[in-house]
Structures are given as C-alpha cells and as structure tokens.
Amino acid sequence: MPLPSQLKASVTITSVQIENIDFSNAYEKSVEDRMRAEVEVQTQLQNLEKERVSAQIAVTQAQAEADSQLARAIAEAESIRIKGNAEASAIKIRAEALAQNQNLVELTKAERWDGKLPTTMLPTGTIPFLEVQKK
C-alpha cells in the first residue's frame, strides 16, 4: 500500500537519549551470583575434563611401560631358550664326538695346556692331567 504524500519527507534523527534503567540491588546481585555460579560450573567442568585427560595419559603411559617390560621379558626368555638350545646341541655334538674318539679328551687337554707345570706339588700328589703310559 503506497504511503500518503505528506509522509514521504525524510526523517532526521538529531539525538538519541538513553534512559538509565536501574534495577534493584537485590536483582543485580542475583544476576551477578548466577553468572558467578555459571562460571564456577564451567571452571569445574574444565577441571574435570583436565583431570580425565591426565588420568588417560597416566593409564596410557602405564600400559606402554607394561607392554615394554613384557616385550623385554619375552625377548630375554627367547634369548635364553635359543642359547640353551644351542648349548644343548653343542653338548650333544661333543658327546657324540667323544663317543667316537676316546682320545678327544686328551687332545683337548693338550690344546689348552700352556706348557707350564705347577710350581707347588704335594709329595704324594701326582702331576695333574698328564698321563704317562709305559710301553
């Protein structure tokens, strides 16, 4: 609907007056207390979330340490098993070699001897590990 011709003139605002709307002290205090309570709730929620994240980090670190210790223990157990198997195999091979050649012990003694006789001996003692055979 078109405006009448007398209203088509422009309107100029020369000033604005804002009136002070004053609330009672009790109302302002209640609003302020409510805002403080909301801020406190938000602060507590943030603290709770921070503690939850800290607890998750501690659990994750503890789990990682436990996994690391378990991996080390498994690796050590496997190493011991492998060394034990290798030692058992070596003992078996040496036993088989000894069974096939009775002089292997004497050969091993001769290979390890540094050529020096003991400097102190008991009068009734024998010279250690040397067998003297009569022909």
pLDDT digits (tens, 9 = 90+) for 9-33: 677 788 888 877 788 889 989 999 9
pLDDT digits (tens, 9 = 90+) for 65-110: 999 999 999 999 999 999 999 999 999 998 888 888 877 777 788 8
Overall average pLDDT of the 54-60 stretch: 97
| Radius of gyration in angstroms for the set of CA atoms belonging to the chain, rounded to a whole number | 49
Please report whether residue 44 resides in a domain. yes
Residue 106 to residue 133: CA distance in whole angstroms: 13
Q: How confident is the model at residue 2 (pLDDT cuts 50, 70, 90)?
A: low
Please report whether residue 123 resides in a domain. no
Q: How far is CA 45 from the centre of its chain?
A: 30
> How many domains does one find in the chain?
1
Model's pTM, two decimal places?
0.45
Domain assignment of residue 30, given as a range: 26-109
Please report whether residue 12 resides in a domain. no
Please report whether residue 56 resides in a domain. yes
